[in-house]
Amino acid sequence: MLIALKLLGSIALLIYGMKVMSEALQKMAGPQLRHLLGKMTTNRFSGVATGALVTVAVQSSAATTVMTVSFVNAALLTLAQAISIIMGANIGTTMSAWIMSAGFSFNVTTLVWPAFLIGIILIQLGKHRYIGDFLFGLSFLLFALGMLRTTGIEMDLANKPAVVNFFSSFDSGSYWTILLFLLIGSILTCIAQSSAALMAITMVLCTTGAITIFQGIALVMGENIGTTLTANIAALSANTQARRAALAHLLFNVFGVIWVLLVFFPFVRMVCSIVGLDPTASSQSSAKLSFALAMFHTAFNVINTALLIGFIPQIEKIVCGLIKPKKTEEDEESRLMYISAGLMKTPEISILQAQKEISLFSERMCRMYGMLKDLHESGEDDKFKEVFDRIVKYEGISDSMENEIGHYLSQVADAHLSDESKDKIRSMLRQIGELESIGDGCLNIAKIMKRGRENKTVLTKEQEEGIASLYSLVGDAMSRMNTILSGRKDDYDIVISDEIEGKINAERDVLKNSGVQDLASYESSALIIDLAGEFEKTGDYIMNVVEARLGVESKFKAA
């Protein structure tokens, strides 16, 4: 029982160490990784290289996949480019297998203690905290590998009659046995949601002599499929492109498993010969066994990528044909597009997805604002009611988007983030609050228009022209806001928005003065003053969004 607990605890520590390492690396190089993915995918070959390099850097194919899906959602990458990056991520993730095989080949725990010491010093000093976090994660990883190695020796499975009899009941030379172990590997990986954990277990079983190299490689093949099943389950709640990318990952690995099964035994013997291992020998070197598993993992993914890299357009057509958009136009108006709790595995990268969602939020508020013109020009009562009801619906959408994005950002903020990322989240929370206020402002303007229609209030020609001018100016401010939210903030400044805000205030003052001077009709006077005030407040909300995005201290506050 104690040995079993040590085995499970070591695997848990291994997973935790890899997670800490990955998150620390992403904090150190998050923005650079985003730019790397966006710029180094000019063709399918550079896409594969980029996916491999990024995955090696962050030690997480899941992180690379999530980043890739976020770029597809943001229209910064095509689906074809995403497929090439995912292929590269499969190659990059084999580095983890080599690290584990090294841990099973010699005692690495001697490297742990200085890494722990240096890591805790850097964390306490604060200046190089992320390097310290990385060393801490690396220390846990190496310690876990050392514990797995010693636990495997203590288990001595090769001399346990019950274990030997159980596994010897499976004929290693039978395809049925290979298929069974492949299925077991897929199911266990899907349950554990960690291919690294199953790779570690496989190495323990192989190096202790419990299973043959053929059975171990069958488990590794199953792990390749199981890790894609996890991604597909996570993508069920995501948008169409995310599900297509996840399905492409599954098809890629399933194709690889199929061709390897066709040449399984010759291929395994070839891989074993590279590391100097005789797969049929009764006595095996534990080091060579672990290296053979890592070599197979690498050869499988490299050869599979070489076979499929020329067929990326065909893979894209297949996944697009299998997964078609099923949302109606009405659903598209109300749902989030770029973020999904099921895919949120890398907090630093999730911030990019949230910013794209905020940009979409802004576009929807711009669309809502455009409905005010349709409302004003509606001649028939039925048409007026239809547009008014649509504005009310959009105000509900704005409330929902604020709540959902805010909840998502709160989840991201719960993770350990860099100071820069924390500032971005604070800015985003302010942005969504002000965007929701824009929705409230649009609804208030619609209600004032409705009141004027019901009271049959008539405005003078000058007042109508003033309202039209104010509507146009606020529309310009909103267009500028959309541009800033959808681009890189370093490319813009506050000047143009500031000038528009000044014009809105000046036009508001003219209209309010017109209302005060209009003694002929109280209704028209009150209407023009209320409209001018509400337009100006909406302009202030827009200005607050721009300030939050650009990181400018607020000068304008809605009255």
Instruction: Copy the structure tokens of residue 382.
Output: 């039925």
The whole-angstrom separation of Cα 446 and Cα 441 is 9
SS3 category, 504: helix
The whole-angstrom separation of Cα 478 and Cα 115 is 52
Cβ pair 86, 54 in contact under 8 A: no
Cβ pair 14, 55 in contact under 8 A: no
| pLDDT of amino acid 146 | 73
| pLDDT of amino acid 556 | 46
Distances (CA, A) of 275 to 91, 272, 291, 297, 535: 19, 6, 7, 13, 74
329 pLDDT band, cuts 50/70/90, is very low
SS3 category, 212: coil
CB atoms within 10 A of CB 187: 14
| pLDDT of amino acid 331 | 46
User: Residues 82-105: what's their mean pLDDT?
Assistant: 79
Mean pLDDT of the chain: 79
Among the ranges given (88-97, 348-357, 428-437, 548-557), the one the predictor scored with the smallest mean pLDDT? 548-557
Of the chain, the percentage scoring pLDDT greater than 90 comes to 21
| pLDDT of amino acid 557 | 46
DSSP string, 285-350: -HHHHHHHHHHHHHHHHHHHHHHHGGGHHHHHHHHHHHS-----HHHHHHS-SS--GGG---HHHH
| pLDDT of amino acid 257 | 92
Q: What is the DSSP letter of 553?
A: P
What are the φ and ψ backbone dihedral angles of 129, each rounded to 5 degrees?
-60, -40
The distance in angstroms from the start CA to the end CA of the chain is 68
| Secondary structure, 3-state, 105-136 | HCCCHHHHHHHHHHHHHHHHHCCCHHHHHHHH
User: Residues 468-495: what's their mean pLDDT?
Assistant: 89
The whole-angstrom separation of Cα 122 and Cα 33 is 23
Q: Which of the two residues, 20 and 543, has the higher pLDDT score? A: 543
AA identity, residue 382:
D
pLDDT at 341 over 70: no
pTM above 0.75, yes or no: no
25 pLDDT band, cuts 50/70/90, is low
Which domains are seen in the chain, by residue range?
2-322 (no CATH), 331-550 (1.20.58.220)
The whole-angstrom separation of Cα 143 and Cα 11 is 11
Instruction: Copy the structure tokens of residue 352.
Output: 């990019």
Cβ pair 531, 511 in contact under 8 A: yes
Cα angle 543, 546, 547 (rounded to 5 degrees) comes to 85
79 pLDDT band, cuts 50/70/90, is confident
Any long-range contacts for 421-429 (C-beta under 8 Å, 24+ apart)? 421/27, 421/30, 421/347, 421/348, 421/351, 423/551, 424/351, 424/355, 425/351, 425/354, 427/548, 427/549, 427/551, 428/351, 428/354, 428/355, 428/358, 428/548
Cβ pair 215, 201 in contact under 8 A: no
DSSP string, 394-412: HHHHHHHHHHHHHHHHHHH
Residue 412 exposed, middle or buried by CB count within 10 Å (0-12, 13-18, 19+) = buried
User: Residues 68-97: what's their mean pLDDT?
Assistant: 76
Instruction: Copy the structure tokens of residue 9.
Output: 């605890």
Cβ pair 313, 80 in contact under 8 A: yes
- pLDDT tens per residue, range 384-411: 999 999 999 999 889 988 988 888 888 8
DSSP string, 361-372: HHHHHHHHHHHH
User: Residues 328-340: what's their mean pLDDT?
Assistant: 55
pLDDT at 112 over 80: no
Distances (CA, A) of 538 to 359, 411, 487, 525, 543: 18, 30, 22, 20, 9
AA identity, residue 426:
R
Cβ pair 163, 157 in contact under 8 A: yes
Residue 1 exposed, middle or buried by CB count within 10 Å (0-12, 13-18, 19+) = exposed
246 pLDDT band, cuts 50/70/90, is confident
Rg (CA), the chain: 30
pLDDT at 41 over 60: no
- pLDDT tens per residue, range 162-206: 666 766 777 777 888 889 889 988 887 777 666 777 777 888 788
pLDDT at 497 over 50: yes
Q: Which residues contact 357 (CB under 8 A, 6 or more apart)?
A: 336, 337, 338, 339, 401, 405, 408
pLDDT at 7 over 80: no
Q: What is the DSSP letter of 75?
A: T
Among the ranges given (75-79, 255-259, 471-475), the one the predictor scored with the smallest mean pLDDT? 75-79
pLDDT at 466 over 90: no
